[in-house]
Amino acid sequence: MATKLDPWGAVSIDDYSKLFKEFGISSFEEILPQIDDPHPYMKRHIIFGHRDYQSVVQAMNEKKPFAVMSGFMPSGRVHLGGKMVMEEIIWHQKHGGDAFVAIADMEAHSVRGISWQRCREMGIEEYVLSLIALGFEPSGHIYFQSKSQAVRDLAFELAAAARFSELAAIYGFSGETNVAHMVSVMVQSADILHPQLAENGGPKPVVIPVGSDQDAHIRLTRDLASRMRKFLVEEREGYVSLRGKAAGADLIEAAASHLKEMGYKKVKRYEEHIDVFDAKDAQKIEEMMREFEVEAGGYGFMPPASLYHRFMTGLTGGKMSSSKPDSHIALTEDPEEAAKKVMRAVTGGRQSLAEQKKLGGEPDKCTIYELMLFHLSEDEGELKEIFEECKSGERICGTCKKEAAERIKLFLTEHQREREIARERLSEYGLG
């Protein structure tokens, strides 16, 4: 038997390494040791990348304010992929984060043409009930985009900082794209930044757990966040420089006075920037200027952090898609039907039993193993055992499938019971 058996074999980070290099997503592995009680997705390398997540980990470890935020477009049934995002939100909530969940009805309406009423029904029926059933607590905030005046107002402000040409470049928008679709992109950026509004406690680290397909949104929003800043603080050789981007003469003057009040002596003011020669620590000035900016009526946004998880393979092989019922398992589907889908799923097994015994299976290409890894096993030891037994040919797919089918049936039955309890509790979430 080969010595290097990796129980997380279904992870082929190789496929994702492109994201690290090309887009500047950081590898999650490096940050994992700093997390006290990591979620299984973290330990199992299902969450593989991040942007700026260290800001959130630091806040979490120091018990300082931070938030978690993500959104769901109510355009179909919620499946196991949606459950992943929900679990990540709930995990951060349990670890002290203020939690925000957007039901993206403006996006569904403008992009998919779904009626407002249908958005409402699907939002509650599919997403909200499952979110609560999985453990989302009422201290968090679940809202429909169209019902949040704060989000809509912020979207308008952000739109003033965004250009059509960049949206066209990022999303492929053309002259034919409907304008509401573009607006919904601004609304999504507002979703992501609004946990930092004064009414929600002001600037703080915020993490957005998403699939890596959403990274374009994250990059745009991080850009917009910094464009909304009044000052850009940069460390130069031996001093710190503040560029007053859109600050205006009065604000630059006030900032220079503020810095002097804070004890800096060698503050030199130019027309559009300020140099502080007796400052070495840009971070400290950055914090100071953020507070100053907020006091002066600005946003002081921190760039939002993000977490990226791998996608599950569809049960039929290929991509998991909400439009292909056999490829996914919905959280609301009949447990018996789900079990049947599992029995039909593509495995990493060989053509014949004899071959399987001789060559061993390929758990890293097996949707059943993936189901176990992503959803159906809480035990690292068990996963390792399955992986090794499969590789060595001791395990046969029939046994594996039956086991997974049983577990999915149990999970869905229990989850659906929890959903009915959640239905009675909607008013606790302001959605009754």
Interface with ligand TRP (CB under 6 A): 70-73, 102, 104, 107, 188, 191-192, 208, 210, 214
Alpha-carbon span 317 to 259, nearest angstrom: 60
On whether the CB atoms of residues 193 and 305 are closer than 8 A, the answer is no
For residues 190 and 240, which CB has a smaller minimum distance to ligand TRP in the complex?
Answer: 190
Cα(151)–Cα(149) distance, integer angstroms: 5
Q: For residues 326 and 318, is the Cβ–Cβ distance under 8 A?
A: no
Q: How far is the CB of 146 from ligand TRP (least distance, A)?
A: 12
Strand 98-103 relative to strand 141-144: parallel, antiparallel, unpaired? parallel
From the list ligand TRP, ligand SF4, none, pick the one residue 259 interacts with, judged by a Cβ distance below 5 to 8 Å according to partner type.
none
302 contacts ligand SF4 (rule: CB under 6 A)? no
400-419 residues near ligand SF4, rule: CB under 6 A: 400-401
Q: Which two tokens stand for residue 44?
A: 């199992």
Task: Tell me how far apart the alpha carbons of residues 48 and 431 are, in angstroms, rounded to a whole number.
Answer: 34
What minimum distance in Å lies between the beta carbon of 6 and ligand SF4?
A: 14
73 binds, among ligand TRP, ligand SF4, none (CB under 5 to 8 A by kind): ligand TRP
Nearer to ligand SF4, 196 or 347 (CB): 347
**Which one, 171 or 239, has the nearer CB to ligand TRP?**
171
How many of the other CB atoms lie within 10 Å of CB of 130?
24
Size of the site for ligand SF4 (CB under 6 A): 15
For ligand TRP, which is the closer residue by CB, 195 or 203?
Answer: 195
Q: In the chain, helix, strand, coil percent, each to 5?
A: 55, 15, 35
Whole-angstrom Cα distance, residue 211 to residue 374? 14
Beta strands 98-103 and 67-72: pairing type? Answer: parallel
Find the radius of gyration of the CA atoms of the chain.
24
Which of the listed partners (ligand SF4, ligand TRP, none) does 369 bind, with a CB threshold of 5 to 8 Å by partner kind? Answer: ligand SF4
Closest approach, Cβ 45 to ligand SF4, in A, equals 18
Distance CA 55, CA 49 (A): 14
Non-local CB neighbours of 7 within 8 Å, separated by 6+ positions: 380, 383, 384, 387, 388
Q: Between 361 and 400, how does the x/- string for binding to ligand SF4 read (CB under 6 A)?
A: x-x--x-xx----------------x---x----xxx--x
The single-letter code of the amino acid at 261 is E
**Which residue, 181 or 407, has its beta carbon nearer to ligand TRP?**
181
Binding letters toward ligand SF4, positions 312-351, x by CB under 6 A: -----------------------------------xxx--
User: How remote is the C-alpha of 21 from its chain's centroid?
Assistant: 20
Q: Which is nearer to ligand SF4, 242 or 408 (CB)?
A: 408
Q: Which residue is nearest to ligand TRP (CB)?
A: 71
CA angle centred on 287, ends 281 and 292, rounded to 5°: 125
Q: Of ligand SF4, ligand TRP, none, which one sits near residue 366, judging by CB under 5 to 8 A according to partner kind?
A: ligand SF4
Q: Where along the sequence are the contacts to ligand SF4 (CB under 6 A)?
A: 347-349, 361, 363, 366, 368-369, 386, 390, 395-397, 400-401
